[in-house]
Amino acid sequence: MEEQFPVIQVMDENGNLVSDEFKEHLTPSFVQSLYEKLILVRTFDRKAISLQRQGRLGTYAPFEGQEAAQVGSAAALKEGDWLFPTYRDHAASITFGHSIPRVFLYWNGRVEGCVAPEGKHIFPPAVPIATQLPHATGAALAEKKKGTDHAAIVYFGDGATSEGDFHEGLNFASVFKAPVVFFNQNNHFAISVPMHKQMNSKTIAQKSVAYGIPGYRIDGNDIFAVYFYTMRALNRARKQEGPTLLEAVTWRYGAHTTADDPKKYRDQEESTLRKAKTDPILRLERYMKNSGLWDDEKAEKIQEDAAEIIEAAVAEMEAFPEPNADDLFDFVFAAPTWTIEDQKEEYMQRLRGEAR
């Protein structure tokens, strides 16, 4: 199956094109826009980890190493499309136009962090594994029934393929030709469980065969491969030809979350070696240098601008009004039950320092 589903590259680890198929689309402005997005989201990710360590954010799910998979795929979307993220796909959400302060608010446990900007179809991050796949299929089918050319993309990790929702989502989408792209980021580990202990399949892309849909295995650290193959899958969806399964083979350098210790189950030496060789940002920088597009001053300015954007977002997040504790109780049901009202009263008494 690995021969049937080889890892597709457009750009190799040294920043050289291995295919001229998309060369005409690699304009200087396009390449720079991708680079700016990669720098922005990595700056966000590192800042979020720092904030968590300082007690200014809650437990956080980092993504460093997976930027190309998220940015490249989300950059291929159009206005009106749908994005269904997991708890780790904030780079994709930001690329598609989510508010960065709101993404920070999500990691502070604020319900406001689940609210996308007006007109943006971005679902709240799915924490239960794979539940978002049937949701994405449903949204895509709704667009199909409306007669639009809008499509959906749904993100999930390798661990999600062991859940029933994965199979239900793909099967339903296949049968009804839903305009949805199933985008898997294969990080080789579902928290501490390596892929070979989780499935007998050699690839995730091969699972497309069971549902009679196209499946591709792409280099998830090659932002060009990610962008153009996601675009190809989205165009297929827009033409009402049905879903596509994409497996982006990547590697996350850090922990599953800030509450996790990857040293207990993963060789950190391999992460160090992979970062030096296949880091998605270094790879694009190599391409830019090879192609005469690199400018030291411009690159420094991009870094500075990204830092300013993130610092401003942090300030906005931390200046947000204090949360309303009533939200914990008032929106569980359309009309609060007596049990909810009883819990709310007990909570208010505790706040007032009253004994119960």
The residues annotated with a catalytic role in the active site are 252, 256, 265
Coil, strand, or helix at residue 183?
strand
**Residue 163 and residue 58: Cα distance in Å, rounded?**
27
Quick one: tokens of 79?
């206005």
Instruction: Please tell me whether residue 253 adopts helix, strand or coil conformation.
Output: coil
Q: What is the CA radius of gyration of the chain?
A: 21
Give the separation between CA 236 and CA 37, rounded to whole angstroms.
Answer: 25
Q: Specify whether the CB–CB gap between 153 and 77 falls below 8 A.
A: yes
Q: Which residue has the tokens 């080889």?
A: 6
Do 67 and 317 meet the contact criterion of CB atoms below 8 Å apart?
no
Contact 217, 245 (CB under 8 A): no
Could you give the C-alpha distances from 324 to 34, 54, 112, 343, in angstroms and in order? Answer: 39, 24, 11, 15
C-alpha angle 221-85-285 in degrees, rounded to nearest 5: 25
Pairing type for strands 193-194 and 215-219 reads unpaired
